[in-house]
Amino acid sequence: MTFNNLLLETHEGVATITINRPTKLNALNKETIAELHSAFKLADENTETRVILITGTGEKAFVAGADISEFAHFNVDQGAALAAKGQELLFDFVENLQTPVIAAVNGFALGGGLELAMACHFRVASTNAKMGLPEVSLGVIPGYGGTQRLPQLVGKGRAMEMIMTAGMINAEQALHYGLVNHVVEQDTLLEFCEGIAQKIMKNSPVAIGKAIAVINAGYKANVNGYASEIEAFGACFGTDDFKEGTTAFLEKRKAQFNK
Ligand code: COA
């Protein structure tokens, strides 16, 4: 499958999605969001793919936000529909994938760009990365989950300050806040993320998928995370991966898991 706004490459179990609109600093227009949905779905359904990386083309930007030129003329209903559709197609979709998704934040991650990185399961930044939710400077608020996920990741007070000031934080500050897990030089960013992916791939994809779902359950209203954990824990005992993992341990060999 070919895309107009992104590249999808799979190598040794890692699918890398590269958003490719360099002249617009990889801003997310409607077509890019639809293509990202398809690319994530393809990668998730591919039995060869054990980890998904998402990054931006070039050395300047991960994603500089939602494409402002597309929504500048929207009315109230169109604004609400933009947020609802985007959340459904991309941001909630990514967060709830069973295949682990790592954001390799290679530069500006602003507005929808930071929201996309935050919807991923965790983030690694390059030293030049700059992150922020500048929406209030445009007279709107974050609409792709930013008001919810930023406080979950950095705490309410820091999220309030970042959103109210519309300012950017650098990679070091993002690391200090816990918004990103690691900061590395830009030319080693993908290699570093692939190294983490290799460690993830040694483990049971079924168990990892369940762990993602249960961790997310704890952040959902009206869902009891502990009860979800008990149910998913029990379900693991009925899987081939559990048989393989425990048998391999007792036989003192490495487990072989397939997706
Ligand atoms: N939507 C649409 N186009 C965008 C964009 C966005 N979010 N972010 C950048 N672009 C476009 C610019 O309009 C420009 O296009 P042009 O060359 O056709 O005029 C191109 O990308 C390069 O951006 P430019 O602003 O010239 O680069 P810069 O180095 O001077 O500044 C930023 C970089 C990231 C600080 C600046 O582009 C910016 O503030 N972007 C908007 C960030 C934002 O508010 N995002 C939240 C949206 S909800």
In tens, the pLDDT along 188-243 reads 999 999 999 999 999 999 999 999 999 999 999 999 999 999 999 999 999 999 99
Do 145 and 30 lie in one domain? The reply is yes
Which residue from 188, 27, 189, 191 is spatially nearest to 111, judged by alpha carbons? 27
129 and 228 within one domain: no
Residue 121 in contact with residue 152, Cβ under 8 Å?
no
Residue 211's domain comprises 205-250
Percentage of the residues of the chain whose pLDDT score is greater than 90: 98
For 138-178, what is the HEC assignment?
Answer: HCCCCCCCHHHHHHHHHCHHHHHHHHHHCCEEEHHHHHHHC
Spatial separation of the C-alpha atoms in residues 159 and 151, rounded to whole Å: 5
Are 222 and 156 members of one domain?
A: no
Check residue 157 and give its pLDDT: 98
Ligand 1 atom closest to the Cα of residue 25 is: 21
* Separation of CA 67 and ligand 1 centre (Å): 9
Mean pLDDT of the chain: 97
Same domain, 242 and 154: no
pLDDT at residue number 61: 98
Instruction: Give me the pLDDT at residue 1, please.
Output: 82
| Alpha carbon distance 204, 51 (integer Å) | 12
pLDDT at 113: 98
Q: Ligand 1: distance of its center to the CA of 165 in Å?
A: 18
Is 0.95 surpassed by the pTM of this model? yes
User: How far does the centroid of ligand 1 lie from the alpha carbon of residue 24, in Å?
Assistant: 6
Q: Check: CB of residue 69 under 8 Å from CB of residue 38.
A: no
User: To test the ligand 1 pocket, which listed residue (5, 19, 24) has its Cβ within 8 A of the most ligand atoms?
Assistant: 24
CA distance 63 to 57: 9
Mean pLDDT computed over 241-257: 97
**Do 130 and 29 belong to one domain?**
yes
Tell me: pLDDT of 259 over 90: no
Same domain, 168 and 213: no
Measuring from atom 15 of ligand 1, which residue has the nearest CA? 24
Atom of ligand 1 nearest to the CA of 111: 46
Task: Measure the CA–CA gap between 100 and 120, rounded to whole angstroms.
Answer: 8
User: How far, in Å, CA of 149 to CA of 163, rounded?
Assistant: 12
Main-chain phi, psi angles of 125, to 5 degrees: -115, 155
Whether residue 69 sits in one domain with residue 167: yes
Mean pLDDT of 98-113: 98
Ligand 1 atom nearest to CA at 24: 21
What is the CA(25)–ligand 1 centre distance, in A? 6
With a cut of 90, say whether residue 246 has pLDDT above it.
yes
Which residues does ligand 1 sit against, CB inside 6 Å? 24-25, 27, 64-69, 108, 110-112, 134-135, 138
Are 162 and 237 contained in the same domain? Answer: no
What burial class does residue 186 get, using C-beta atoms within 10 Å of its C-beta: 0-12 exposed, 13-18 middle, 19+ buried? Answer: middle
User: 26 in a domain, yes or no?
Assistant: yes
Distance between Cα 167 and ligand 1 center (Å): 15
Domain count, the chain: 2
- Kindly report, residue by residue over 15-46, the tens digit of the pLDDT: 999 999 999 999 999 999 999 999 999 999 99
Same domain, 170 and 243: no
Give residue 55's identity as a one-letter amino acid code: T
Same domain, 41 and 154: yes
Question: CB within 8 A of 3, min separation 6: which ones?
Answer: 20, 35, 38, 39
**What CATH number is associated with residue 84?**
3.90.226.10
The pLDDT tens digits for 154-164 are: 999 999 999 99
Residues 82, 98 share a domain: yes
Residue 87 has pLDDT above 90, yes or no: yes
Nearest protein CA to atom 28 of ligand 1, as residue: 25
**251 φ, ψ to 5°?**
-90, 5
Structural domain includes residue 52 = yes
Q: If pLDDT is split at 50, 70 and 90, which confidence band does 166 have?
A: very high
Angstrom distance (rounded) from CA 229 to CA 12: 31
The residue nearest atom 42 of ligand 1, judged by CA position, is 64
Q: Which residues are catalytic?
A: 115, 135
Q: Which atom of ligand 1 is nearest to the CA of 166?
A: 44
DSSP secondary structure string for all residues of the chain: ---SSEEEEEETTEEEEEE--GGGTT-B-HHHHHHHHHHHHHHHH-TT-SEEEEEESTTTEEE--B-HHHHTT--HHHHHHHHHHHIIIIIHHHHT-SS-EEEEE-SEEETHHHHHHHHSSEEEEETT-EEE--GGGGT----SSHHHHHHHHH-HHHHHHHHHHT-EEEHHHHHHHTSSSEEE-GGGHHHHHHHHHHHHHTS-HHHHHHHHHHHHHTTSTT--HHHHHHHHHHHHTTSHHHHHHHHHHHTTS------
Give the phi and the psi of residue 56 in degrees, each rounded to 5: -115, 155
